[in-house]
């Protein structure tokens, strides 16, 4: 099966991976990192962005459940040497910090 034949969520799930702060830092410097609340499904958020689901994305933005990463986030991530689940929906890099309970995923 080719990538084009895969459903969007499945394709995005296959493209999701772990990333540590040093690898993410260069994307943060470009201003393209979107942090996703731990209560949301990272792949679902990525799919909504890829489908240009403006209503759903606006709802998450208004609720503060997704947001562009800020300098304070970068400082905390650097200090804690954070690790993330990440997926790219160009031009954005969507991330969820990995908490200790998730570390075995």
pTM given for the model: 0.87
CB 19 within 8 A of CB 84: yes
* Euclidean distance between CA atoms 16 and 103, whole angstroms: 15
Distances (CA, A) of 32 to 4, 5, 53, 68, 101: 25, 28, 19, 7, 27
pLDDT for 1? 46
pLDDT attached to residue 83: 96
Q: What is the pLDDT of residues 69-84, one digit of tens each?
A: 999 999 999 999 899 9
Distances (CA, A) of 4 to 11, 14, 27, 93: 9, 13, 26, 21
Average pLDDT, the chain: 91
Query: Which pLDDT band holds residue 6 (cuts at 50, 70, 90)?
Result: confident
For residue 5, give every residue at least 6 positions away whose Cβ sits within 8 Å of its Cβ, in sequence order, or none: none
């Amino acid at each position: 099966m080719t990538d084009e034949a895969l459903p969007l969520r499945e394709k995005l799930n296959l493209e999701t991976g772990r990333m540590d702060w040093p690898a993410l830092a260069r994307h943060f410097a470009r201003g393209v990192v979107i942090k996703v609340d731990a209560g949301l499904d990272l792949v679902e958020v990525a799919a909504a962005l890829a489908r240009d689901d403006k209503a759903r994305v606006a709802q998450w933005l208004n609720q503060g459940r997704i947001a562009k990463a800020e300098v304070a986030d970068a400082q905390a991530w650097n200090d804690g040497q954070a690790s993330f689940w990440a997926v790219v929906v160009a031009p954005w890099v969507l991330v969820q910090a990995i908490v200790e309970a998730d570390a075995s995923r």
